[in-house]
A = this chain, B = another copy of it.
Amino acid sequence: MTLHRSHASYAADCPVRDVLDRLGDRWSTLVLQALADDKQRFAELSRRIDDISKRMLAKTLRGLEEDGLVRRTVYPSKPPSVEYALTELGLSFLPHIEGLVAWASKHHEAVRAARKAYARNYPGVE
């Protein structure tokens, strides 16, 4: 992995950034995690991610579907039932999310300690 050594990788038109800019947002990460175990209906996802608005959940799911990470299936029941599931591509992205979560799980106390130290050193900075 030497990508980060290239100046080109920071450019706004870099294809890698084009992908990560969207998948890197917190809601996409949470939705992909929530779909890790099994397919889910919209209402289930909405309950699991308890502070996401319905509008933001719909937008996030549409983005993930557009990017090919999530598959949306409509069943012709009454009312129609809609299920969301990870695609192969979405599954291949999961380990990276889990890596981030594992890091945060291991280090969140260090991060919180650093925040406290910062607040002591720079009182009054937001």
Interface, chain A (partner B; CB < 8 A): 1, 3-5, 7, 9-12, 15-21, 23-26, 29-30, 33-34, 36-37, 48-51, 62, 65-69, 89, 92-93, 95-105, 107-115, 117-118, 125
Which residues from B are CB-within-8-Å of A24? 24-26, 29, 100
Is B118's CB under 8 angstroms from A65's CB?
yes
A7 to B15, CA, bound (A): 34
Find the residue from A34, A65, A108 having the highest chain B CB count within 10 A: A108
Count copies of this chain in the complex: 2
Interface of A is mostly: helix
A104 to B19, CA, bound (A): 6
A114 to B60, CA, bound (A): 15
Which residues from B are CB-within-8-Å of A117? 68
Known: A24-B25, A66-B115. 4 other contacts (CB 8 A): A4-B34, A4-B97, A24-B26, A25-B25
Is B62's CB under 8 angstroms from A125's CB?
yes
Is A3's CB under 8 angstroms from B102's CB?
yes
Is B7's CB under 8 angstroms from A48's CB?
yes
